[in-house]
Amino acid sequence: MQAALAPFHEAHVLGRGYEVADILSSFPPPNNPGRLYDFHRASNERQIEGDVRYALKYSKVSHISAKESIAWTEIIVDYWHVVTKILSAEEATNKRQLGDRQWVEVYEAWRNLTQLVSRHISNGVLPPWGIWTLLRMANHLRLLAVRADEQLAKARPMNLNPVLQDDIAGTVTSNQKLEEAARVFNRIFSLCLGDRNPNPGDSRKWAVYCVANLQFRTYFKLKAISLSKNVVKSIGAQGDLPPFSRYPLGHQVTYKYYTGVLSFLQEDYPKAEEYLQEAWAKCRQDALRNQERILTYLIPCRLLTRHAVPTATLLSSYPNLKQLFGPLISCIKSGNLAGFDEALLSGEQEFVKRRVFLTLERSRDIALRNLLRKVYLAEGWEDLKEGQTETDRIRKSRIPISHFATAIRIAGNGQAVEDDEVECLLANMIYKQQMKGYIARERGMVVLNKKGAFPNTGV
């Protein structure tokens, strides 16, 4: 056990909480796939506690106080027992002999281990950097909770009688263990947010955004968006947090991404764009998957706030987004209403899954605006008056409503559109300031502003 805990002693001396967490990990590192087996074989059920106590007491590298040594002994012994369950579950999975609750038991054992570390940190037994060990373990708890819920879902008996539905399936939710894990995360969040350490460098407040991001991931998986709002409110109510810019860049990007998505779902698009744009600007250039997630919401946002569409160059770097948004963007640019409706319907399932369907549906107004602008441009120019030159030429501003009606019917693949409906569409576009002018119904004309008939023509 002394050799097995050598990396722990080195990380402990340097105060590297993440490295300690990697040593107390629920899965082996890619460069050492047999690490869990090696650790497990370093002792046995009967000797594990004595072996760990001896290894910590007589280490030549780190000198741990007696009180802290007792805590780490309890943690490492608990970890050894969890590893036993993990290896057993993995072997059973590989042999296709997995028990109905084996991964559930792994999750529950890891939950108890996580709570044990949290309790020792709360009591001030572990050093301040122990919070980073706890957070890494909490993230493993989230992953194990998802796996446990998947096993529970598979083990749940089939309901053959709808009358018995509540009795059979209603007692166990599909995310039972993840909901339990969320309550653990809440306590860790309170542990960090409520720290009153007078030394700012040792404050657990440095972990606030990290655990908040963990909560966001969990709540979004649970579809409990309102709980995410409570996290934001709690952080906003704190007046003694370090400046946001001093937190690790990865924590900043993830937090801005989730707060941007929250604003997006609340239809506060200007604020959503601000947060998402900040996340995009700070995201690592090689983190293509994270960039894609940010753009999934930033693209629809900018469609509504700026009427701006992504360039072909940008979309070419993200094939998934090009496939998702490409047909819609093309129809918006060309003012193809029928093509827009078809593209929206074709991607409806994926758009709904990503929570952007309703926002994209609103961008139909931009496609309509571009179509109406094409009619305006096709009308040509006013004749020059005596003494005027080409620089004085202006476009025709009085356009028959029938011309717009014809364009709308053609763009809609000949779909029947009544004249009154066309007038209503034009009035709405004027009201929304997508075009400037007024409707002269008695003359059947639209009178457009000569100085700027179509503002915000970014697409």
> Residue 156: what pLDDT?
66
> Residue 243: what pLDDT?
92
pLDDT of 158 > 60? The answer is no
Sheet architecture: strand order including 437-440:
398-400, 445-448, 437-440
Higher pLDDT, 20 or 166: 20
Segment 313-317 shows an average pLDDT of: 90
pLDDT of 458 > 50? The answer is no
> Residue 167: what pLDDT?
37
Report the alpha-carbon distance of residue 356 to residue 368 in Å, rounded. 20
Q: Is the dihedral of CA 91, 95, 98, 103 positive or negative?
A: positive
Q: Which amino acid is at 428?
A: N
Q: Which amino acid is at 291?
A: Q
> Residue 173: what pLDDT?
54
Rounded to the nearest integer, the mean pLDDT of the chain is 88
Residue 457: pLDDT band (50, 70, 90) is low
pLDDT digit string, tens, across residues 371-414: 999 998 998 887 777 777 777 778 888 999 999 888 988 887 76
Cα Rg of the chain, angstroms: 30
> Residue 179: what pLDDT?
95
> Residue 261: what pLDDT?
96
> Residue 449: what pLDDT?
87
pLDDT digit string, tens, across residues 245-286: 999 999 999 999 999 999 999 999 999 999 999 999 999 999
pLDDT of 159 > 80? The answer is no
Residue 160: pLDDT band (50, 70, 90) is very low
Q: Please indicate, yes or no, whether the overall pTM of this predicted structure exceeds 0.85.
A: yes
pLDDT digit string, tens, across residues 401-413: 999 888 988 887 7
Q: Which amino acid is at 83?
A: V
pLDDT digit string, tens, across residues 161-203: 444 333 333 444 588 999 999 999 999 999 999 988 888 888 9
Residue 125: pLDDT band (50, 70, 90) is very high
Instruction: Kindly state the percentage of the chain with pLDDT values over 70.
Output: 95
